[in-house]
Amino acid sequence: MKTLAKILFCIVVLAVSHLSAQETFAPLVTENCVAFAHVDFTKVELDKVKETVQKTSEDLLHVLGFDDSSFRSTARELRTELEKLDIIVRPVFDTITKELGIREVAVIADADLLERGVPAIVAVPWKGKTAKQLDTLRNLLNMENEPVNFVPIGNFLILPLADRWASPEEELKEWAAEIEPAPKAPIFDALKSVAGAEIKVAVAIPEQWRIMARSGGMPPDMPNEVKGLLLFVSQKVEWASASVSLHEILGGDAPENSDVLLTLKTPKRSDAVQLRGMLEQTIEYGINAMRFAMEQDRNMAFQPPPLFFYFAKGFLRTLLPDVEDDMLKFRLKGESVGAKQAVVAAAGIGTALLLPAIQAARQAAVRMQCMNNLRQIVLAIHNHHDMMQAIPPLYSVDKDGKPLHSWRVLLLPFIEQAALYEAIRLDEPWDSEHNKQFHNVIVPQYSCPNNPLCQAGAACTYVVVAGEAFVPAVEGRKGVHTFARLTDGTSNTLAVIEVKEPFCWMDPTADIDLEDLAMGINAEDGRCGSFHRGGCNAARFDGSALFIPETVDTETLQNFGKCDSGKMIVIP
């Protein structure tokens, strides 16, 4: 959808809607309708929009302190660009509304359509239209010679919004034959709540999605505070509606109560009160987590003062919703359009100023996740040692002493990957015909979340030092060494370290040796390293994780990799 005509046709959330949508498009709305947006072309006044954009822009130039000469030249240039845009948009708009007689269009997202790989459909009422009008519409939307094929369904033309979709006509007709219209679907209640708005989106959560959430559809590594909020929302929010006045955005007169931006409907008031409290707790958790992550990163260039975090909490609390009966309503505080524009401007300026801090916090959080992966691996090594009375071997071997499976495979039961472990044939090589099917499996604990090179088939970034604590099994899967081998002590011996170039996690020959450590961290020809700025993560045998800077001398690094160097290792 590259042409301006297609953009105009599909981005319908930027236009006016009215309640006739409930009647016109009801045959296409089911209980599984996820989202609905509607445009009434009869309410769009291009001249007024153009005039308002020009006036609001000129007011902004005055606020920004443009001198008279700069103001006149900039305003003149803006007016010229608006005229150029009008020359393109107006003929398309007139063709749609006058020649084709299209008064309204809807975009509908349905859970059943999503399962078929279609994010949404555009529905155009087409009752009584001619074949000539259909050709006109197709030509209008084929301005760049991209085929646009509408599918007739009942009294509608349907356009699937999907780049690649095999047999769209058959798929759509099959979907249409199966749908059961729901005149009282929750999505219609959401639409009624924003009946007078000009920009609107209505969303409802289908029951089948609620069931998925109850059955544990949340990512396992998601923080409990966030998981609890999302689970509560999925179970208690019946629908949501968002609205903003188009005239208000452009600087014109705003309709009454247009400061309500988002409404969440819950079954009862107590649910709304509880949800607001959870949102406030999530703000507290998020800011505290960001502060902790940034304070833990000793190498971070930007360390904001404590006042920054108090300010952030206070600002986010101003965005918390009001409880009104069984609804939560998010609104911009302030009674005038100018106040709202000030809030938006302040938010934009604040975002620009705080971007370095936010980016730094993100990097710190990712580094901490990487360190947590390393800690889990070492914990798994300890659990393996407790059960098998040995450190896992570098790799298991067959009767001829040939490598079968890496230590990473043998640790699977100890990192909550027992099902994957059971599916692998341990008596066959790692690259046997059966075991090849698992090469593309990404085991999260074995992959640094900050490494952009990770992909299916090459997503492992953690290795051990071969020939020290980890040596090949003499036979089968039995490890050779116990922790008694670590005469330097568990807190003084390297267990696991990052490499920059990912590899298949099942490869038993992918680990490093002391010569690799002698190359240093992030060296051009070396293996050890990462995409964390300034060094890489590692873990000791005592389970603690640390960041090894690029500046560490190679002798210290080699001694760190040995079990019996006799040296006290200090990593700066």
- The tens place of each residue's pLDDT in the chain, 572 residues long, gives 333 333 333 333 333 333 445 578 888 888 888 888 877 777 677 887 778 778 877 877 776 667 788 788 888 888 888 888 888 888 888 888 888 888 888 888 888 877 777 778 888 999 888 888 888 887 777 655 556 677 888 889 888 876 544 456 677 778 888 888 887 888 888 878 777 665 667 888 777 677 666 665 555 556 676 777 777 888 888 888 877 555 554 444 444 445 667 888 999 999 999 989 888 888 888 888 778 777 776 666 566 777 778 777 877 887 788 899 999 888 765 444 444 444 444 444 444 444 555 555 566 677 888 888 999 999 999 999 989 999 999 999 988 889 999 999 999 999 888 999 999 999 999 999 999 999 988 898 999 988 888 887 888 999 999 989 999 988 888 889 899 999 999 989 999 999 999 999 999 999 999 999 999 999 888 899 998 888 899 999 988 888 899 889 999 999 999 999 888 888 87
Helices (H), 253-268: none
376 and 261 both lie in a single domain: no
Per-residue pLDDT, 379: 92
243 and 374 both lie in a single domain: no
251 and 374 both lie in a single domain: no
369 and 253 both lie in a single domain: no
370 and 257 both lie in a single domain: no
Kind of pairing, strands 121-125 and 322-324? unpaired
> Is 282 part of any domain?
no
Q: Which residues pair with 281 in a beta bridge?
A: none
Q: What is the CA radius of gyration of the chain?
A: 30
Kind of pairing, strands 104-110 and 239-244? unpaired
> Is 111 part of any domain?
yes
Last residue of a domain, one of 221, 245, 266: 266
Last residue of a domain, one of 235, 266, 297: 266
261 and 394 both lie in a single domain: no
374 and 257 both lie in a single domain: no
Per-residue pLDDT, 378: 92
> Is 293 part of any domain?
no
Per-residue pLDDT, 336: 41
Which residues, 6 or more positions from 455, have their beta carbon under 8 angstroms from its beta carbon? 502
> Is 69 part of any domain?
yes
244 and 375 both lie in a single domain: no
The CA angle 317-229-205, to the nearest 5 degrees, is 110
Per-residue pLDDT, 137: 84
Pick from 481, 482, 433, 438: nearest CA to 460: 438
> Is 344 part of any domain?
no
Per-residue pLDDT, 424: 92
> Is 279 part of any domain?
no
380 and 250 both lie in a single domain: no
> Is 342 part of any domain?
no
260 and 372 both lie in a single domain: no
261 and 370 both lie in a single domain: no
Last residue of a domain, one of 237, 266, 295: 266
Helices (H), 121-245: 131-141, 168-178, 186-193, 207-214, 224-236
Q: What is the DSSP letter of 467?
A: T
> What is the residue range of 492's domain?
365-561
d(CA 149, CA 93): 20
The total number of structural domains that make up the chain: 2
> Is 16 part of any domain?
yes
